[in-house]
Amino acid sequence: MRTTVGIIGGGPAGLLLARLLHRAGLDCVVLESRERRYVEARQRAGILEQGTVDVLRECGAGARMDREGLLHRGIELRFEGRAHRIDFPALADGRSVMVYAQTEVVKDLVALQLADGPPLLFGAEVLTVEDPDSATPTVRFRHEGREQTLSCDFVAGCDGFHGVARGAIPAERTAVFERDYPYSWLGVLADVPPSCEELIYARHRRGFALHSMRSPQVSRLYLQVPAGTDPAGWSDERIWDELATRFAVDGDWALERGPITAKSVTPMRAYVQEPMRHGRLFLAGDAAHIVPPTGAKGLNLAVTDVVTLARALTLHHETGSTELLDSYSETCLRRVWQAERFSAFMTDTLHPHPDRTPFEERLRLAQLERIAASPAASAELAENYVGLPLS
C-alpha cells in the first residue's frame, strides 16, 4: 500500500488530521490498532476550547456538537467552604468552552471518515516505523492476521502515550521532560442530572474533587486518590459520601446521587518529548506530550498540533515549501509548554498532599484567595482555561 500521509492512531488527533488533509486534497490512510467499538467508548476528556469547537465546525464535524454540546461560560472554584465563580466571557475577551465528550467527538469523526473520507483501518496494529529520516518512510503493521507495509511521503505519529511512533526517533536525538504525581483521579460516570450548571473544581483538605457532566442526564465526577488506588476498593456509597464531603459549601447546595455506570483510575503525569519531528515523521497529541488533566488541556493540545501539521503538509503539497514543516515542532512546543505550565499550576494549587508542609498548603490557599479577590488573577486562569490563541 502507498499513501502521501500515513497516520498512526485513530484517536482524536489521527482522525481530525485525516479530516483536515482530506479536505485539503491530500490522501492519507489511518491505522488504528483497536476496534471501532472500543475507540468510541473510551471515556476521557470532556471540555473543548473555543478554538477546538471552531476547528470541528470548519471541517464539517460540528453539527451534533452544536445540537448536543453544552456551552459553559464559567467554572466554580470551591475551597474552605466557599464558592467563587470565574466568568470566562467577562475575563477572556468574550470566549467560553463547550462541554462535549471526547467519545462523541471521536464518534462524529469516525462516521465522517467512513462515509466519505480516506481509508480508516480498525484492528490495524502498527509494529514499526522504518526509515523515518529517508524520503520514503515505511510503516509496518498487522491487519487481519497479516503483516503489511504502508509506504508514505510523511508519517504522522498520533498513537497516544503508549504508541510506537515516538520510539522510532533515536534516543540520542530526543530530550524527555517528565513529572509523575503521587496521586491519581478516580473518575465515575453516573446516571443523575448534574448538581450544578457549571463545572466545580473543589479543593478540600481531604483532597481535590471535580464535578463535570456529559449531558443534562449524566454526571461525570472525579476524586483525588493516592497513586495505585484500585477502583474496586471504592463502593458507590463511599464515592458519593466522599464527593459530598469535598464539595460541601456554606449554604443549601446538595449533591444529587444516582447509579454509577463506570469507574476507573487515571494516573496523573506530565511528559514532553522534544523535538516533535524526526525527518518525515511528525508526532502529534499524546504521542508527544501528556498533561495532568486538571486544566482540561490534553484533547485541545492534540487538536492544535494536528491543525498546525495539516497546515504545514498542505503548504508543502501546494507549493513545495517546507517552511511550516520545518517550524512544526517549535510552533507546537511553544503552546505545549504553556499548557504544561497551566496544567501544573491547576494541579498543584487544587490538590493537597501530605508530603507538603502546612506552610506550603497555606500558600496554595492564599493563591486561590488571590484568584477569588482579583480580576487580574482570575483573568489569568480564564484566558488559559478557554485556550490561548493559536500562533
Q: By the criterion CB under 6 A, which residues form the site for ligand DHB?
A: 45-47, 199, 210, 212, 220, 293-294, 296
> What pairing do the DSSP bridges indicate for beta strands 146-157 and 281-283?
parallel
Cβ 307 to ligand DHB, closest distance in Å? Answer: 21
Interface with ligand FAD, residue 102, by CB under 6 A: yes
> Of these partners, ligand DHB, ligand FAD, none, which one is at the site of residue 21 (CB under 5 to 8 Å by kind)?
none
Q: Which three cell numbers stand for residue 224?
A: 483525588
Interface with ligand FAD, residue 384, by CB under 6 A: no
Interface with ligand FAD, residue 265, by CB under 6 A: no
Q: Which of 204, 278, 289, 297 is catalytic?
A: 297
The contact pattern for ligand FAD, residues 169-208, with x = CB under 6 A and - = no contact, is ----------------------------------------
Interface with ligand FAD, residue 32, by CB under 6 A: yes
Q: Is 196 helix (H, G, I), strand (E, B) or coil?
A: coil
**Given 27, 68, 87, 125, the residue binding ligand FAD (CB under 6 A):** 125
Q: Is 271 a catalytic residue?
A: no
Interface with ligand FAD, residue 325, by CB under 6 A: no
Cβ 187 to ligand DHB, closest distance in Å? Answer: 7
Q: Is 201 a catalytic residue?
A: yes
Of 13 and 213, which has the nearer Cβ to ligand FAD? 13
* 312, HSE (Cβ side, Cα atoms, 13 Å): 25
Interface with ligand FAD, residue 45, by CB under 6 A: yes
Omega before 275 within 30 of 0, i.e. cis: yes
CA-nearest of 100, 78, 44, 86 to 255 is 78
Please give the Cα distance from 173 to 95 (Å, whole number): 39
Chain position whose Cβ is nearest to ligand DHB: 46
Alpha helices in 24-99 (DSSP H): 36-41, 50-58, 63-68, 88-91
By CB under 6 A, the residues from 274 to 313 that bind ligand FAD are 285-286, 293, 296-299, 302
Phi, psi of 11 (to 5 degrees): -90, -165
Of 97 and 309, which has the nearer Cβ to ligand DHB? 97
Cβ 163 to ligand FAD, closest distance in Å? Answer: 4
Tell whether the torsion through CA atoms of 43, 46, 50 and 53 is positive or negative: positive
Cβ 158 to ligand DHB, closest distance in Å? Answer: 20
Residue 124 CB neighbour total at 10 angstroms: 22
Residue 295 CB neighbour total at 10 angstroms: 22
Q: What value, to the nearest 5°, has the Cα angle with vertex 304 and ends 303 and 308?
A: 120
Cβ 301 to ligand DHB, closest distance in Å? Answer: 12
**Given 6, 11, 74, 118, the residue binding ligand FAD (CB under 6 A):** 11
Interface with ligand FAD, residue 266, by CB under 6 A: yes
Of 46 and 51, which has the nearer Cβ to ligand DHB? 46
> Of these partners, ligand FAD, ligand DHB, none, which one is at the site of residue 220 (CB under 5 to 8 Å by kind)?
ligand DHB
Q: 278 has which bridge partners?
A: 281
CA-nearest of 255, 287, 282, 260 to 272 is 287
Q: Is 216 a catalytic residue?
A: no
Q: Which three cell numbers stand for residue 274?
A: 522534544
Please give the Cα distance from 134 to 151 (Å, whole number): 11
Q: 7 has which bridge partners?
A: 30, 156
Residue with cell 459520601: 241
Cβ 198 to ligand DHB, closest distance in Å? Answer: 11
Contact at 8 Å (CB) between 301 and 285?
yes
Contact at 8 Å (CB) between 226 and 184?
yes
Q: Which of 181, 183, 201, 328 is catalytic?
A: 201
Which residues are the active-site residues? 72, 201, 293, 297, 385
Interacting residue ranges for ligand FAD, rule: CB under 6 A: 8-14, 31-34, 39, 44-45, 102, 125-126, 158-160, 162-164, 266, 285-286, 293, 296-299, 302
